Amino acid sequence: MMQEGRLPRAKKRFGQNFLVQPQIVERIVAAIRPASGDHLVEIGPGPGALTRSLLRLLPQLTVVELDRDMIAGLRALAPPEQLRVLQADALEVDFAALAGAGNALRIVGNLPYNVATPLIFHILEHAEQVRDMHFMLQKEVVDRVVAVPGSKAYGRLSVMIQAHCAVESLFTVAPGNFFPVPKVDSAFMRLIPHRPGLLPPHLQAPFARIVATSFAQRRKTLANNLRGILSADDLRGLQIDPGCRAETLDQTAFFRLAEATVEQGDRS
């Protein structure tokens, strides 16, 4: 394990928990399998444990780091022609511009728990420019992302991300592999944007609205949650039981619900 004394001070406002176990870094790199032609972007490299391993395999790497105090140390790891260091908030980065006309981005990061979900959705806005994503997240969040219909963890997050990506939980990481030690387990996961996308552009916003409304109150039936949007008869016409709850529906059912709201709008 890396010596804690060599690590910079973690800042609570950035949600920093530095990965300090070399064996876990090796597992991450093995899961990513970076190749020399990849356009790889690391988010939140911190003191650079993963960055160092990636630099041994890649002629070029881009890292995005919010903490100004980390920048000098990162820039010292490699010359600028090999390592491009961006001091920026990843939530504000234009990943489409970052990809440019080159290869689709491969994105990796040990994400702070407080920004993980909005950051994934921000990146998915540029899904056409993204080949895959590999993220270390709170295990509870990963469990929700990969959950299947009917399971306790299945919900809005599951439906929304799985509509845009194939998802896979790769391995769990215990708290002792980080410094400071978090209070929860983490998990490393892979997300691969669907090619072609499952949702046509005109359904993107209606789909997001219908999923949010369907899960607004989990204890209520679908008919109750969607009252004023789709009637019980509308649901039956879609071969959906009005008395079911949202967590029992698969992705295709939510697609049908979104399409029905668009059709109703066209008729009104």
44 is in an annotated binding site: yes
**Order of strands, sheet of 83-87, starting from the edge strand that comes earlier in the sequence:** 83-87, 61-65, 39-43, 105-110, 130-138, 186-193, 165-173
Which three-class secondary structure state does DSSP give residue 232? Answer: helix
Q: Is 17 annotated as ligand-binding? A: yes
State how far the Cα of 231 lies from the Cα of 261, in Å rounded to an integer.
Answer: 11
Per-residue pLDDT of the chain (268 residues), as tens digits, is 333 346 556 545 545 578 889 999 999 999 999 999 999 999 999 899 999 999 999 999 999 999 898 999 999 999 999 999 999 999 999 999 998 877 899 999 998 877 889 999 999 998 999 999 999 999 999 999 999 999 999 999 999 999 999 999 999 999 999 988 888 999 999 999 999 889 998 999 999 999 999 999 989 999 999 999 999 999 999 999 999 999 999 999 999 999 999 988 655 4
Q: pLDDT tens-digit profile of 56-91?
A: 999 999 999 998 989 999 999 999 999 999 999 999
Nearest to 169 by CA among 185, 190, 186: 190
Question: pTM value?
Answer: 0.91
3-class DSSP assignment, residue 99: helix
User: Which domains are assigned to the chain?
Assistant: 12-193 (3.40.50.150), 201-266 (1.10.8.100)
Determine the pLDDT at residue 222.
97
Per-residue pLDDT reduced to its tens digit, 12-23? 554 557 888 999
- Please report the pLDDT score of residue 33 as a whole number: 97
Question: Which amino acid type is present at position 222?
Answer: L
pLDDT of residue 12: 55
Cα–Cα distance measured from residue 116 to residue 134, given in angstroms and rounded to the nearest whole number: 12
The residue among 251, 85, 220 whose CA lies nearest residue 157 is 251
b/e burial code for range 130-159 (CB count within 10 A of at least 16 → b): bbbbbbbbbbebbbbbbbeeeeebbbbbbb
Residue 89, marked binder:
yes
Instruction: Identify the pLDDT of residue 4.
Output: 39
Consult the annotation and say whether 19 binds a ligand.
yes
Q: CA 255: distance to chain centroid?
A: 21
